[in-house]
Chains A and B, each alone.
Chain A
């Protein structure tokens, strides 16, 4: 094994240029890894794994050998974003969140953008994330999107693009924080030498952002989880613990006189702010899905009356609909009068006749995704699919064109990754986390997800992806 044998041709590699030279930001890391040698690197990698196991950052696999607990795959070779690139990413993300928030305020309010015909009304109306119950709603301080996880990818030339916005319950931030702790233990010498921007204060930013949502002094704050069987439960409890707030399930809450209370050993206690990690329509069976067993009756009414604050606000889902996504550059221009700093990935809308024709004819070259899909479900990667799969998917698209978008297959950038005892190139994306409170805070770095299967472009953890620590230098 070693890094000298590594090659990444015809692709943008984060560590090496096409000529095979290490990029400046990676200089120190590369020489340090060389001096450590392969055996030491493997040793450190397995001790990092052990640490994650002790911390119980695991998920459960069910297979022939009974249950097996595994850690979330974690790769010890960091992904580095140079500071000059980060500055523009940060600006671009702030711009995007600001515009999307104005957009939500508008479409649930005056609907100027529709009247000005920038976006067709039927696109909004047909979005499953658009909640009529939210029309006319004024969330505290006019902020709808408090927590965002935006997925970024590099194209073949190395330019960052926004792949999608996650505005409902974006997850993964706990892995960023835990990965960092483990990396500090694994490579203390790198942290001593390099000026890596820290991320540990994210929970404090999150807490003060949540406090900003209410005028109550010393507010009672709770993180609302669907429960211990939810795949992101670990993160919910992690955030509650780090913020020092309550972690509640639907059954812990009750609404009386349009106020939200939690059931405590000393009776009912009023809750002022809820960071909900449960989907919009499951929150309240009396306003949305009647069959929700996770929800709390009356919480939406309490919210409308201003008796409790919710983050993110219900109704935000419309802004991360993948069809609306294609309009975000126009949205930025409309509300801010600026050009988007980070471009979108070119997107075809199957609801448009000419695009639809193109998608059906070129499906073998495209990635097609459901407008409201997530976690790598409801999608097809043209070049990696069989003829039959393509034909089947075309039928799905024809039956419901509004629900599908298509994008060219991006040659995502790669980072050297430890695969058993070799270093190989693997594709990555990047999910920075953005908080919108008094100001907009962008966590420096974010979650780098790695597609661990050779050649795979799918990085979702539900599809066997892993993660890496992300370093913003300087």
Chain B
């Protein structure tokens, strides 16, 4: 397949995955804020830290109010990662590779984009500046975003050949997902408890729980562990090799997609993207959660992000530029 097309497929999927994760981040935080009383410190700023866009946010908005954070992450045109921007870019990428995807895939994405665009317009007109941000069926909107992402995945799964285009889709999707899972886990680092005595308190547990929900991992976690415990949660989201949003699962999928793309069967030599992924996967497989906590969870998550970025650059180098 054309290198340019591979790159567009890769990014189209990253943007969809990003939009899905953002919608969950915002929704969970919104639900959490409804459970908390006013004495609890601001729940919304950590969200901006988590996404890595704090600087841009601080430049544009005076305070991390719910209205501002939601607007920034959902509809802001100047935030390259807002749901609206992700959708616009995903659709633009799809437009440049339409001949490689099915009509039904394109229709799902196009209708999805039109929905977000229309909702945004309504939101900006009636609720953009002030007022009750959390009304206007925000939860419904976020839920529709998630469902549309799911139907995009479902539709691509069922209507395009599982060939190179498909494998580059997986590569983009799982690289983005692994990155977002590290950020979800890291959220706890940015959410400060009122005091150290609150460690293990109801509030602390509530926060860990919402973090699990942010990764859509609540139910699957419950099936494996009996209570909410930070170490167990970290273990589940980093090292569980059957849960589709854990880091190790994502890396496994990437490795498999890379093996297929690289065409070992066709006798082509192994490449650095493939090697880096395999080496890293083996390293993860030898980890245990105790050693991770000994090192410090936040530092460990930083390392994962660096590792993912390096794999990402190797993919770009090997497949997208020539």
Contacts and interface: CB of A to CB of B under 8 A. Distances in A.
Contacts of B243: none
B4 interface: yes
Contacts of A249: 4
A145 to B, nearest CB: 25
Contacts of A233: 95
Contacts of A223: 99
B106 A56 contact: yes
Contacts of A263: 2-4, 322
A248 B110 contact: no
A252 B99 contact: no
B196 interface: no
A237 B99 contact: yes
Interface in B80-112: 92, 95-96, 98-100, 103, 106-107, 110-111
A55 B164 contact: no
A55 B3 contact: no
Nearest to B263: A266
B110 A54 contact: yes
B107 A228 contact: no
B165 to A, nearest CB: 10
Interface residue range, chain A = 20 to 34
Contact of A262 (B2, B111, B114, B168): B2
Interface string B2-35: 1110100000000000000000000000000000
B279 interface: no
A277 to B, nearest CB: 13
Given A241-B98, A241-B99, A246 B110 contact: no
Contacts of A53: 114
B261 interface: yes
Contacts of B322: 263, 267
A240 interface: yes
B107 A247 contact: no
B268 A54 contact: no
B261 A265 contact: yes
A262 B5 CA distance: 12
Contacts of A56: 95, 106-107, 110
A264 interface: yes
A20 B268 CA distance: 73
A238 B103 CA distance: 10
A238 B101 CA distance: 11
B319 interface: yes
Contact of A54 (B111, B164, B319): B111
A265 B3 CA distance: 5
A251 interface: yes
Contact of B3 (A69, A228, A238, A264): A264
B95 A228 contact: yes
B143 to A, nearest CB: 21
Interface in A244-292: 245-249, 251-252, 262-267
A91 to B, nearest CB: 35
A326 B17 CA distance: 58
A251 B4 contact: yes
B319 A237 contact: no
A249 B2 CA distance: 10
Contacts of A237: 95-96, 98-99
B2 A248 contact: yes
Interface in B267-322: 268, 319, 322
A357 to B, nearest CB: 52
Contacts of A54: 107, 110-111, 114
Contacts of A262: 2
Nearest to A57: B110
Contacts of B2: 246, 248, 252, 262-265
A265 B111 CA distance: 30
B99 A265 contact: no
Contacts of A245: 99
A249 B319 CA distance: 17
A240 B319 CA distance: 23
Contact of A55 (B92, B95, B110, B319): B110
Given A238-B99, A241-B103, 10 more contacts: A54-B110, A54-B114, A237-B96, A241-B98, A246-B99, A252-B4, A264-B1, A265-B164, A265-B168, A266-B263
23 contacts: A54-B107, A54-B110, A56-B110, A69-B114, A228-B92, A233-B95, A237-B95, A237-B96, A237-B99, A238-B99, A240-B99, A241-B99, A251-B4, A252-B2, A252-B3, A252-B4, A262-B2, A263-B3, A263-B322, A265-B2, A265-B6, A265-B168, A266-B263
Closest 6 CB pairs of A and B: A241-B99, A240-B99, A56-B110, A237-B98, A247-B99, A265-B319
